[in-house]
Amino acid sequence: MSLHRAIALTVWWVIPVLASAQSPSEMKPVADQIAGSIYSGPSMTTLGELADGIGGRLTGSPAYVRATEWAVAKFRSYGIQNVKLDPFTIPAGWQRGPATGAMLAPLSRPLYVASLGWSPSTPVGGVQGPVVLIADVAPEALKAREAELHGKIVLLDTSKIYAEGYGKAMAKMEVAWSAFQKAGVLAVLSPDREKNNVLNAHGVGWGAKLLPLPGAEIGMEDAKLIQRELERGPVSLQLSLENKTSGEITVNNVIAEIRGSERPDEWILIGAHLDSWDFGTGAQDNGTGTASVLEIGRALMSLGKPPRRSIRLALWGGEEEGLLGSYAYTQSHLAELNQCVAVLNTDNGAGHPKGWKTEGREDLKKAMQPWSDGLLKNIGGGDLSTETTYDTDHGPFMLEGIPVLDLWVDMTHYFEVHHKSSDTLDKVDSLDFKGGEAIVAVTAYAIAQTDTPIAPHIDHAAVAEILKKAKLDEMLEHIGVWKP
């Protein structure tokens, strides 16, 4: 039996000791009480309300709006009074509609297709046309084939296009879509990466912008069949996409705050994204993170006295379209980010917890080590990694030099459900899920109680060094969130 499973079977009756300057051993009684509250708490029920009751929560959709209202009510039901909606805008609203595709020649058969996120609809009745395979999206290569592309359906050879790396390929692809539109392409098909024609919901590029022409993903095996047929002769397809689109819309993050008892102007942020893709119900991505933030708020309120520093609890919108909500928050709250002591993020599913990623910061890892050894190891989360990522909402805060921690869990089975129709409540192991919640809650409380911040903010040059070492700098510069 794992250690955090054993904790789940223990009854916790501990009176919290809220003294200052506590060592890990001195803080253990309160840490035990927090963990016990979480293991006996309602977070699986909360997750069920979100995943089964509301379902997929595409940014800006009616379901997303319902989720924000639900989250506000949940925070307030736990006694947290300072709860608000924090707005930002995205370039376009989008909701998925029906999608159908078929090969017309040289044989007749249906195709597994779905709209790419933020794709416009095809004309009424769909489009029909010959297929052309594109393996090179460099501007000069597309210019040379411009006449050939008119009136065609493009099938992307993504295995070759992305062979040079995601960042460089993404930059070329954005230009390529405009070139396809200019050349009169009817639609673009992008093969999925999963076997058995399984489709993963996703968009193209960064920023919730409408694509310039209809685009769809197509099952891996269907795409390979088309490629084989193209080697023998012409292939023609039919494609119909029906989506609802709009112009710029306002989307809300949900922000709650437990005001600190001694240093209220200093704050720790605990965040997860509330939005999801719309194939499944967003249980692992990121219903578990959302339910964790809510549950941590409940558990901290149950202590009866707030921690020394303030705790902000954030549920972000627009993560799936490029960390839009969390990035907008950093920009609209720049003046107070110097008071942010640390950011804790959870968005890797509910696999067996390991500990924390310190996102390239050796100094943060060193500072965390006593707490990992003295508190977190006891609840199954004592490991630390310096892996650097910009794949979820800790990223915008990392760019500002703030100490960030991203919950580190076993992701062996995560991508079996990630962005798929199988991302549902039944895939969540409740004890692993609660183990992760306990790690986040105890870490946040410990950082809130320390006399000095866990680690300093670092300057632009130091952040640049981390990004360059992780080979993230060019991609982040391209998408417009980073300047060297």
The pLDDT value recorded for residue 326 is 98
Alpha-helical segments (H) within 263-361: 288-301, 324-332
Using alpha carbons, list the distances in angstroms from residue 467 to 408, 458, 463.
19, 13, 6
**CATH fold for domain 94-246:** Glucose Oxidase; domain 1 (3.50.30)
Cis (ω within 30 of 0) for the bond into 348?
A: no
Residue 150 CA to residue 132 CA, distance in Å, equals 10
Element (H, E) at 469: helix 460-469
**CATH fold for domain 3-91+248-478:** Aminopeptidase (3.40.630)
Domains 3-91+248-478 and 94-246 share a fold: no
| Contact indicator for 354, 117 with CB cutoff of 8 Å | no
pTM given for the model: 0.94
| Contact indicator for 375, 469 with CB cutoff of 8 Å | no
Lookup: tokens for 41: 């708490």
Give which of 93, 87, 96, 223 is closest to 161, Cα–Cα.
223
Q: Are strands 383-385 and 340-345 parallel, antiparallel or unpaired?
A: unpaired
What residue segments make up the domains of the chain, in order of their start?
A: 3-91+248-478, 94-246
Q: What is the pLDDT along the chain (484 residues), one digit of tens a residue?
A: 443 444 333 332 232 333 345 788 889 999 999 999 999 999 999 999 999 999 999 999 999 999 999 999 999 999 999 999 999 999 999 999 999 999 999 999 999 999 999 999 999 999 999 999 999 999 999 999 999 999 999 999 999 998 888 777 888 888 999 999 999 999 999 999 999 999 999 999 889 999 999 999 999 999 999 999 999 999 999 999 999 999 999 999 999 999 999 999 999 999 999 999 999 999 999 999 999 999 999 999 999 999 999 999 999 999 999 999 999 999 999 999 999 999 999 999 999 999 999 999 999 999 999 999 999 999 999 999 999 999 999 999 999 999 999 999 999 999 999 999 999 999 999 999 999 999 999 999 999 999 999 999 999 999 999 999 999 999 999 999 999 9
Question: Between the CA atoms of 327, 332, 336 and 337, what dihedral angle is there, to the nearest 10 degrees?
Answer: 10
How many angstroms from the chain centroid is the CA of residue 369? 27
The pLDDT value recorded for residue 21 is 59
- Identity at 11, one-letter amino acid code: V
**Span 297-308, pLDDT tens digits:** 999 999 999 999
